Amino acid sequence: MRYIGNKTKLVPFLLGTLDELGLSPGVACDPFAGTASVGRALKTAGWRVHCGDLLAVSYAYQVARVELDRTPSFPGALVDGSGSRRSVSYSAVLRVLGASSPKEGFITEHYTPGGADGREHGRMYYTPENGASIDAVRDRIQAWHAEGLIDGSRKQLLLATLIQAADRVANTTGVYASFVKSWQPNATRPLRLKPLRPAVPPSAAARGCSAYRGTAEDLLRHAGAVDLVYLDPPYNERQYPGYYHLPELLAQGWDPPPLLRGKTGLIPDDDLRSDWCRRGRCEAALHSLLDVTDARHVLLSYNDEGLLSRESIESAFREAGDPDSFRVFTRGYRRYRSDSDGPARQYRSNAVRERVYHVRRP
């Protein structure tokens, strides 16, 4: 999934930073998990990882990519409708879901030009055909869970699979703050469900990973003693619920239907907004988080164009841990751009530096 701040390309740099610090795998906490790419990498490297995030879409990815230790099997009833106790594969279930008859529902109505609300607001997030396919798959997953045919972790795996597939055919430039006014080639392709593979733990020590939906502070209290806290908070004033309201809607569902607002059909998100995206509050948020954790090591990954200054981060880290252990690691990378320069927006440059701050605590 195209996601602002996704660290997939920076994983080698982050793992190399841990090696340079001499940190052996133990228990790690990642309270800003996003699409769980770092949590997955840490687990693969031998860490037991506790992930968390405010967004339901992140929770689905956390379960699918980190909490599960292997690809689960599913009840045969999902494939043949019988009461058989035989098990079937994840891929077989995806074939059944992919063959679902299109069903015009909430997504078709509000986010495609095939629904009355979509036509009224000119929304072109999905073609009517893909909107109906997304509706059919989402409703079927919900029905299976309501009937007790799949448990919570299997539901989240299937939701993450659907969200990933829907993102591939979304008529956007990468975020959902707006839609493109003409159909892009990817948007006209049919919805295709492709498997997501959980990270296999390399040792028994890396088992027992968990997923959590809630605030960073609550996760740190919930996780208990950890060796490493990896912080990857939002950098700027873009609130993620607004930029990813459609993936979040697919993760949350629409029972009861949410009250949509605006031309883009935003969902209610007051409880999902982060102080890290607010000037005047992000510095207090950093101090609050450092006060809560008792981790031996704290890493903060932060963009050099973020709201927090390098000086304020260094001051907070030196105050929270051993000042002599404070270090900063830097890596340049190419900026993610969801659009081109124009009258309304000018990017500073195509190059950005990621800084990873470290401090050791008593």
Categorize the per-residue pLDDT at 336 as very low, low, confident or very high, splitting at 50, 70 and 90.
Answer: low
Sequence-distant (≥ 6) Cβ neighbours of residue 323 within 8 angstroms:
none
Contact present, 229 and 220 (Cβ < 8 Å): yes
pLDDT tens string 4-39: 878 888 999 999 999 999 999 999 999 999 999 999
Q: How many CA atoms lie within 13 A of 233 on its CB side?
A: 28
Q: pTM value?
A: 0.93
pLDDT exceeds 60 at position 344:
no
| Rounded Cα gap, residues 63 and 43, in angstroms | 13
pLDDT tens string 225-273: 999 999 999 988 888 899 999 999 999 999 999 999 999 999 999 999 9
Domain covering 1-70+201-239+274-362, topology: Rossmann fold (3.40.50)
Instruction: With CA atoms as reference, report the closest residue to 211 among 70, 58, 72.
Output: 58
Instruction: With CA atoms as reference, report the closest residue to 313 among 278, 353, 356.
Output: 356
pLDDT tens string 280-326: 899 999 999 999 999 999 999 998 889 999 999 999 999 999 999 99
| CB-count exposure of residue 69 (10 Å: 0-12, 13-18, 19+) | middle
pLDDT tens string 193-223: 999 999 999 999 999 999 999 999 999 998 8
User: DSSP letter at 60?
Assistant: H
| pLDDT of 215 | 95
Residue boundaries of the structural domains of the chain: 1-70+201-239+274-362, 90-197+240-272
